[in-house]
Amino acid sequence: MRWPGATARVLIALLAGAVVGLALAHWHPGAAATAASIAQPVGKLWLSALQMTVVPLVLALVILGVATAADAASSGRVARRALTTFVVLLSLFAAYAALVAPALLSLVPRSPQLAATLQASPAAMAVGEAPTLAQWIGNIIPSNAIMAAAQGAMLPLVVFALFFGFALTRVAVDRRAQVVGLCHGIADTMIVIVHWVLLAAPLGVFALMLAVCAQAGLGVVGALAGYIVLQCAMYIGAIAICYGLVAVFARRSPAAFASAILPAQVVAASTQSSLASLPAMLESARERLGLSPSVAALVLPMAVTLFRITSPIQYLVAAAFVAWAYGIELTALQLAAGSALAVVISLGSVGLPGQVSFMATVMPVTQSMGLPVEPLGLLLAVDTIPDVFATTGNVTGDLTATAIVARQSSDIADTPPAS
């Protein structure tokens, strides 16, 4: 008999927690309150164990992301154009998520019982008033990076990491290699710890789901289903935007482009891996789209390494959902801060394992917007369901960026990529 995989175990635990919580709430309200009071600290303990790895992991990933991007840019004009295209497109999709996700959620009625349950939890106590414009600008650069890390102030910490990473590119090669190696060691160590904590994910998710369902009833089940639908819809919308970008910036027919990249999209949907889709992407770019082989050979591997258009969408949709569930009205400053951080973090997080990536990326963005992180344990459990659409969107974005860069690089399209 084969045991179910890690994702299946988490989903089973989510379902079991919902069934037990709803059953207790329906037949034994008194027992439901007792069970919730026991389960809530267990779930909170599991979330705290994940949260303790976020600051060192994000700091290391951002520094490594800057170093990787600097190394890539040094390989020539095509690489620099690709990096610029990646950043612009990531910013575009972050803005898309920041504008569309809260607007769609505002159309959905929120369960008052769900909101009351979440607001009564310990995480709700950490939600403060949104900062003013002057406070937000004044806090972007930390006066004390160590204090920012201790307080979990993610945006100032990431700004410090960016300064550190760019300054590191000016240091002697041998000393830079030592720091980069240290950052690799820190990131790898944090990922090992996260893997250990995720072994207890079924217990943590079960406890969180049981506590919320015992108090909020069916409202939380409907809310999670709505979150899944929203994620899928946002990913499909991103794919549609890619076709429009191809028409405007690559001067190609969207219908012809969609037909040419369909085989790569099929591979992406079936494997749920951008890396596994790379051979199919190269074939589509060279044979079906007729892009320069030298441009495709350079840009597509860079895209798989650094570029994932659904990442900022995932981070901001999750944050917007948490705000909606708590009844928090997101301000323009909160959305701007979350969008900026989402772009930076997404450049450094590509290649992380799925569940590790979720907590290492979504949690900092949610924290930077001044939102509670307690619901993220439940979102982690269901986030694997829209992954088919996410991977398809990423592959579409990779080929879109390559087509745009190929159009921009027609003057050097036949030049072999620099080593």
For every residue of 126-164, DSSP letters joined together read G--PPPPHHHHHHTTS-S-HHHHHHHT-HHHHHHHHHHH
Mean pLDDT of the chain: 82
For every residue of 64-91, DSSP letters joined together read HHHHHHHHHHTT-HHHHHHHHHHHHHHH
* pLDDT interval class at 47 (50, 70, 90): confident
Count structural domains, the chain: 1
CA distances from 224 to 102, 234, 266, 359 (A): 16, 15, 27, 17
Residue 1 lies in a domain: no
Q: What is the pTM of this model?
A: 0.81
What pLDDT is stored for residue 320 in this prediction?
94
What pLDDT is stored for residue 356 in this prediction?
65
The answer on pLDDT for 416 being more than 60 is no
Tell me the percentage of the chain whose pLDDT exceeds 70: 85
Q: What is the pLDDT of residues 275-307, one digit of tens each?
A: 788 889 999 998 899 888 888 888 888 888 778
Average pLDDT over residues 93-120: 81
What are the φ/ψ torsions at residue 88 (nearest 5 degrees)?
-65, -45
Residue 121 lies in a domain: yes
* pLDDT interval class at 125 (50, 70, 90): very low
Residue 419 lies in a domain: no
Average pLDDT over residues 128-142: 65
CA–CA dist 83, 129 (Å, integer): 36
The answer on pLDDT for 310 being more than 70 is yes
CA–CA dist 139, 135 (Å, integer): 6
The answer on pLDDT for 63 being more than 50 is yes
The answer on pLDDT for 37 being more than 90 is no
**Domain limits for position 105:** 6-412
What pLDDT is stored for residue 93 in this prediction?
96
Average pLDDT over residues 180-209: 87
Give me 389's structure tokens. Answer: 């659409």
What pLDDT is stored for residue 353 in this prediction?
56
Residue 172 lies in a domain: yes
Q: What is the pLDDT of residues 334-383, one digit of tens each?
A: 899 899 889 988 877 655 556 667 777 888 888 888 888 878 888 887 87
Residue 4, CB half-sphere, CA atoms under 13 Å: how many? 9
CA–CA dist 252, 67 (Å, integer): 34
What pLDDT is stored for residue 381 in this prediction?
78
Residue 302 lies in a domain: yes
The answer on pLDDT for 149 being more than 80 is no
Among residues 155, 110, 84, 178, the alpha carbon closest in space to that of 322 is found at: 110
Residue 153 lies in a domain: yes
Comparing 127-141, 288-302, 393-407, the range with the smallest average pLDDT is 127-141
Residue 417 lies in a domain: no
The answer on pLDDT for 412 being more than 60 is no
What pLDDT is stored for residue 247 in this prediction?
94
Q: What is the CATH number of the domain that holds 315?
A: 1.10.3860
- N-terminal to C-terminal alpha carbon distance within the chain: 49
Q: What is the pLDDT of residues 213-233, one digit of tens each?
A: 877 667 777 888 889 999 999
What pLDDT is stored for residue 394 in this prediction?
93
Residue 130 lies in a domain: yes
